[in-house]
C-alpha cells in the first residue's frame, strides 16, 4: 500500500489513498466516536441528575460502536496497524520477510473478502426480512452494508499489500521505515 500512498505525491494530481481514506472514513469514524460520547453523556446525565435516561441508549451505543469499528477497519489496514506477531522475523532474511509479508497480505485479503461476502449476504437477508432493533426499530441492514463495504475496502488494501509488499522490512517492524517502495 506504500506504493499507492506515495506513488502520486506532489503536483501531478494523483490519488493519495491515505488522504482519501482519512478524509472519508477518518472523518466518519471521528463523527461516530463523537456521537458515542454524546449519547453516553446525555444518558448518564439524564439518568443520574434527572432520573430520565436516554430512551434506547443501549441500542444506539451498540449500533454506533459497530459502525465505528467497521469505519476504522480500512484505515487500520492501510496504516498497517493491525496486531502482528513476528516470531520468525529475527530468524529469516529480508527476502523471506518480504514473501511472508506478501503471503500475509493475500491471506488477509481472502479472509476479509469472505467476511465482506458473508456480511453483504446477511445484510440483504436483514433488508428482505425487515430486521430492526427491538426498542427503537432502527433498520439493521444499513449497518450490515457498511460492514461489508468496509471489509471489501480492507480486502482490496490487503490484496495490494500482498501484491506489492514492502521492499525491505527491518527488525523494528513493518512501520519502521515509512518510505518503503516508492515508485
Tell me the per-residue pLDDT of 45-99, one tens digit each, with 9 for 90 and over.
999 999 999 999 999 999 999 999 999 999 999 888 787 777 777 888 888 888 8
What the block records as the C-alpha cell of 71 is 469505519
| Mean pLDDT confidence for 140-153 | 96
Range of weakest confidence among 56-60, 121-125, 165-169, 178-182: 178-182
Radius of gyration of the chain from Cα atoms?
20
Q: Is residue 14's pLDDT more than 80?
A: no
What element of type H or E holds 48?
Answer: helix 27-49
| Mean pLDDT confidence for 118-141 | 96
**DSSP secondary structure of 107-157:** HHHHHHHHHHHHHHHHHHHHHHHT-B-TTT--BSHHHHHHHHHHHHHHHHH
Residue 112, judged by CB atoms within 10 A of its CB (0-12, 13-18, 19+), counts as: buried
Predicted local confidence at residue 8, as pLDDT: 40
| Mean pLDDT confidence for 126-138 | 95
Residue, of 99 and 168, whose pLDDT is higher: 99
CA 114 vs CA 44, 108, 149: distances in Å: 39, 10, 12
Q: What is the mean pLDDT of the chain?
A: 84
Residue, of 145 and 168, whose pLDDT is higher: 145
What element of type H or E holds 22?
Answer: none
Q: Is residue 108's pLDDT more than 90?
A: yes
How far is Cα 29 from Cα 26, in angstroms, rounded to an integer? 5
pLDDT in tens, 34-45: 999 999 999 999
Predicted local confidence at residue 89, as pLDDT: 76
Residue, of 75 and 19, whose pLDDT is higher: 75
What pTM did the predictor assign?
0.78
Amino acid at each position: 500500500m506504500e506504493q499507492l500512498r506515495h506513488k502520486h505525491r506532489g503536483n501531478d494530481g494523483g490519488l493519495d489513498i491515505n488522504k482519501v481514506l482519512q478524509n472519508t472514513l477518518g472523518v466518519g469514524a471521528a463523527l461516530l466516536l463523537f456521537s458515542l460520547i454524546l449519547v453516553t453523556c446525555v444518558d448518564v446525565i439524564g439518568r443520574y441528575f434527572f432520573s430520565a435516561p436516554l430512551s434506547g441508549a443501549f441500542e444506539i451505543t451498540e449500533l454506533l460502536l459497530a459502525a465505528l469499528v467497521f469505519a476504522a477497519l480500512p484505515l487500520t489496514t492501510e496504516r498497517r496497524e493491525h496486531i502482528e506477531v513476528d516470531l520468525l522475523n529475527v530468524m529469516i532474511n529480508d527476502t523471506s520477510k518480504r514473501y511472508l509479508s506478501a503471503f500475509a497480505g493475500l491471506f488477509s485479503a481472502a479472509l476479509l473478502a469472505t467476511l465482506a461476502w458473508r456480511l453483504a449476504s446477511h445484510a440483504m437477508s436483514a433488508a428482505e426480512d425487515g430486521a430492526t432493533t427491538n426498542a427503537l426499530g432502527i433498520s439493521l441492514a444499513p449497518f450490515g452494508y457498511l460492514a461489508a463495504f468496509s471489509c471489501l475496502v480492507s480486502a482490496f488494501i490487503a490484496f495490494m499489500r500482498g501484491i506489492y509488499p514492502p521492499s525491505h522490512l527491518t527488525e523494528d517492524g513493518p512501520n519502521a521505515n515509512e518510505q518503503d517502495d516508492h515508485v
